[in-house]
Amino acid sequence: MGTVRQFQVTFDCREPERVARFWCEVLGYVVPPAPEGFASWTDYDRSLPPDQQGAAFAASDPTGVGPRLFFQRVPEGKVVKNRLHLDVRVGTGMVGAERLAALEAECARLLPLGATRGLLLIADEHNESCLNMQDVEGNEFCLD
């Protein structure tokens, strides 16, 4: 049996803190404490060379169960569909109208945070319904 390792999910983005704070709201994650010796992340950020300020941010599951999310600034914008995306599990165990209501309710909560609604995929003989969405920088994710 192989070794189970922890992992983090890394997002390339233009505005790491903005994207991180969005995902904190989506997932109930928190911003980890600032490094030792700094009262806040703002203070830490100001201590960095100008070209490194605002270059990275993180979010973590307060329960310690979910993976850490890391957000890093990259110069290029997003131009194609993600090869990997997150499924936010809001309808687990639900089917039919109950599942659709859960997906729509979560969508309504996320739109004011800057999410964009995509295509609603209705259940078929193989898959349950899910709702495609995009985060504040256009990264695709699904409400599942």
- Three-state DSSP at 57 gives strand
The Cα 79–Cα 98 span in angstroms is: 35
For the chain, what are the domain ranges? 8-73, 86-143
H helix or E strand, kind and range, residue 27: helix 16-27
pLDDT grade, residue 126 (50/70/90)? confident
**How many Cα atoms within 13 Å fall on the side-chain side of residue 83?**
2
pLDDT grade, residue 58 (50/70/90)? very high
Q: Is the pLDDT of residue 5 over 80?
A: no
Average pLDDT over residues 103-129: 95
pLDDT digits (tens, 9 = 90+) for 59-73: 999 999 999 999 999
Residue 112 has what pLDDT? 98
